[in-house]
Amino acid sequence: MKIYIDGKFCDEKNAKISVFDHGLLYGDGIFEGIRAYNGRVFRLKEHIDRLFYSAKAIMLNMPLTHEEFMKATVETCRRNNLKDGYIRLLVTRGVGTLGLNPNKCKKSSVIIIADKIQLYPQEFYEKGLTIITVPTTRNLHSALNPAIKSLNYLNNILAKIEANNGGCEEAIMLNSEGYVAECTGDNIFLVKGRQLLTPPLSAGALYGITRKVAMDIAREMGFEVLEPNLTRYDVFNADECFLTGTGAEVVPVVKVDGRVIGSGIPGPVTLEVVTRYLQLVHASGEPIFPAKKGKR
């Protein structure tokens, strides 16, 4: 495997960063999880856009331009002959001192890893997930804004630990007011009649790339897409529930906190969203490999 580090490609065993990198010491940095399908990087521009938004929010100087990030990502996939897989793009504050002061970090660092994807087990896509609500609340906007996709994911990890302790792969996180924010690594959607509901970004939901795609698909299907504040009551009484994420794609949820959702099996709306999503991701994206010239 070839890993991109600050403009150079290294073998996996030689891919190293300094122990003084503030990304390692303090989680001081940002990242994106990106998918490649059928030789194309899906929604690459949108992912790089979000990377720059996160960088601006934490005042992180980007060492590459938007176009350079896109080219480096595609080239990393090409060097690894990756047609279908997962890309992890990180930007750290860079090497500094043992103190917190970010001004001691002279230059930020870029790391790009292109590898195979680890999805939920197939049975969850066929039969649906069982999830729970966990005690760990989503970060406050006034503390660490959930819109920032930072390297400090301890809030999500603590919630994931609680999910695992409860025998589940995923869990719902509430915000400090008790409204549904998102899951530990995915956005959450509810189907109610001809409406598709998902928590607003102000509730603590991440601006998910897959979230946006699912909303667009639902509108194409004739659904009214709304972003109201949602409570656990709304989740329990939904006709259908599903989660979205770059890694998860679209996965049905059939039980929450012991309550069966809808009929207890993946619903027709969810399955249609899944079908349309998979059709879209396999037919669009930034090409990884140059188009082959036609034979004369």
pLDDT digits (tens), the chain, 296 positions:
999 999 999 999 999 999 999 999 999 999 999 999 999 999 999 999 999 999 999 999 999 999 999 999 999 999 999 999 999 999 999 999 999 999 999 999 999 999 988 778 899 999 999 999 999 999 998 999 999 999 999 999 999 999 999 999 999 999 999 999 999 999 999 999 999 999 999 999 999 999 999 999 999 999 999 999 999 999 999 999 999 999 999 999 999 999 999 999 999 999 999 999 999 999 999 999 987 765 44
61: helix, strand or coil: coil
Question: How many H helices and E strands in the chain?
Answer: 8, 16
**Residue ranges in 166-240 assigned as alpha helix (H):** 209-220, 232-236
150 in the same domain as 62: no
In a domain, 286, yes or no: no
Q: What is the pLDDT of residue 296?
A: 43
Q: What is the pLDDT of residue 147?
A: 94
The domain tally of the chain equals 2
| CATH code for position 88 | 3.30.470.10
6 in the same domain as 47: yes
Nearest to 168 by CA among 136, 137, 128: 128
Nearest to 181 by CA among 147, 142, 210, 209: 147
143 in the same domain as 91: no
Q: What is the pLDDT of residue 205?
A: 93
149 catalytic? Reply is yes
Tell me the C-alpha distance between 193 and 270, whole Å.
Answer: 13
Which value, to the nearest 10 degrees, does the dihedral of the CA atoms of residues 211, 215, 220, 222 take?
140
Q: What is the pLDDT of residue 92?
A: 98
Residue-wise pLDDT tens digits, 29-50: 999 999 999 999 999 999 999 9
216 in the same domain as 168: yes
Q: What is the pLDDT of residue 119?
A: 76
In a domain, 293, yes or no: no
Q: From 92, 115, 138, give the residue that closes a domain.
A: 115
- The predicted model scores a pTM of 0.94
157 in the same domain as 276: yes
Residue-wise pLDDT tens digits, 131-148: 999 999 999 989 999 999
Q: What is the pLDDT of residue 237?
A: 98
| CATH code for position 199 | 3.20.10.10
In a domain, 287, yes or no: no
Per the CB < 8 A criterion, the answer to whether 163 and 173 are in contact is no
Tell me the C-alpha distance between 174 and 206, whole Å.
Answer: 13
Which value, to the nearest 10 degrees, does the dihedral of the CA atoms of residues 177, 180, 183, 184 take?
0
Q: Which member of 16, 56, 149, 295 is catalytic?
A: 149
In a domain, 38, yes or no: yes
20 in the same domain as 163: no
129 in the same domain as 111: no
First CA to last CA distance, the chain: 36
In a domain, 217, yes or no: yes
In a domain, 181, yes or no: yes
66: helix, strand or coil: helix
Question: Which stretch of DSSP H or E encloses residue 80?
Answer: none
Q: From 115, 147, 171, give the residue that closes a domain.
A: 115
275 in the same domain as 240: yes
In a domain, 99, yes or no: yes
Can you give the residue range of the structural domain that contains 138?
122-281
In a domain, 145, yes or no: yes
60 in the same domain as 135: no
90 in the same domain as 230: no
33 in the same domain as 131: no
Q: What is the pLDDT of residue 290?
A: 85
Q: From 59, 90, 115, give the residue that closes a domain.
A: 115
Residues facing residue 88 across a β-bridge: 33, 113
94 in the same domain as 154: no
